[in-house]
Structure 1
């Protein structure tokens, strides 16, 4: 049994920690939310009173917090992870953040002798609950070898994609594609409806033809064809529009660091910005269909 400190028990962190408990590990969790700590305790974990309390007992530390600023806050300083983690502990950051912040924290961890990986995820809350997340892992081969058995309790795919920060780079590219796919598929389905085509027939044909994509097959933005999709739950978020906007902005920032222009992604980012400004940030990002179609 491995003792794991889990910092950040939000919509993703809570089900991820539950799956670690199901895997037979001891989990000490810390979050600013008393409700999140109570949920972990009810699942069989232990609520820590501080970051220091959690990580001081842990063989592995996992963080799942909103932004690069938050990651730096929980790792750095007198109250942070690097000041209180046990010597030899493995550090895993599964937050989705900018590449620069990720590499900075990697460097700080390496300077203090810690193995670390950045391991952002794809799959949103349903995949977190079902332990079917896709982990994109950046770090040394040795650190990945240590992290892989832990991550396998929470995911169906764990891939080492490169050196420190590469997991964040991969996540930026993946979600840029998902964000654009939601818009282009929405345009396609809106046109199909205006041409008098039935959505189920469109789904049946396209999922076996050259127009198929993950967004259509698994997350169809019109109600009906995919029963588990948010479109059949009034667009209650599996992955909120505001989070997709965050990831689209991260992809734009990553592109700027290498001097590469992404005009289609830039336009898609503007559309997500407008959707959030109009008050749709709490809806699933597949609600883009309603915006694009005008329905």
Structure 2
């Protein structure tokens, strides 16, 4: 495996005291089925509004500790959330950060990036185009390349979330997690499977790089057409994610955009949680029936990001 449970534990030690512990809240009885016990893991309350802060801090801190951070700082391509996290982590260490994002990135994310002091550069309409531009910038400037999901330090940092969940919820049976490029999924799987917890990996039907890779037995490029594409819009999953997806105890499911929109609305109507469509994707697996928990199954659903414009939710209330 490209990352191991030991990598996740090392990341947990490195970021301890610098990130917020995950907030866990029980779901109303019957929400996942009459006999199912469920919790929401509100990582949307993390620094910068998503789980990405964990991996970004682990990445930056590791390089600073090894005196491996160049004067030009760090550069990353992102749909928005990874860029926010990278800019935040870099600022915490006094390191310059350049963030390349698609022109289609939500304005709320662009504004937050600038507030964090990042050098923001909008390129193309998809993540892959921003990535290509960021790689060119790194080659010309000498900046350290980070990645939105495909790096061992990023994935291991994301996995620290699962370490906190299993510590708080002994006897947990299943964790449900949304997948874009697979960094969060890989880290969560490395931790969850070590603790005997099953993993349900959830993707939009129109943006399913991991599901396609599992079907093909290798990473493949996929088209990206989903309401959740701003955060789950990777054209291909990481090899690390595929390795973990092929392990026993992991299931990959798809949900339609309609279910994602409905799940996002449910989180607002019942909890007043304004989250991204990508963040509602995990819950959509349960509300749509893509994953049906068995009676008595103890389930945690990761709500991974809140960098959204809530005006459509508020207007419809």
TM-score by length of 2: 0.34
Q: Which has the higher helix share?
A: 1
TM-score by length of 1: 0.36
Rg larger for: 1
Higher relative contact order (CA 8 A, sep 6+): 2
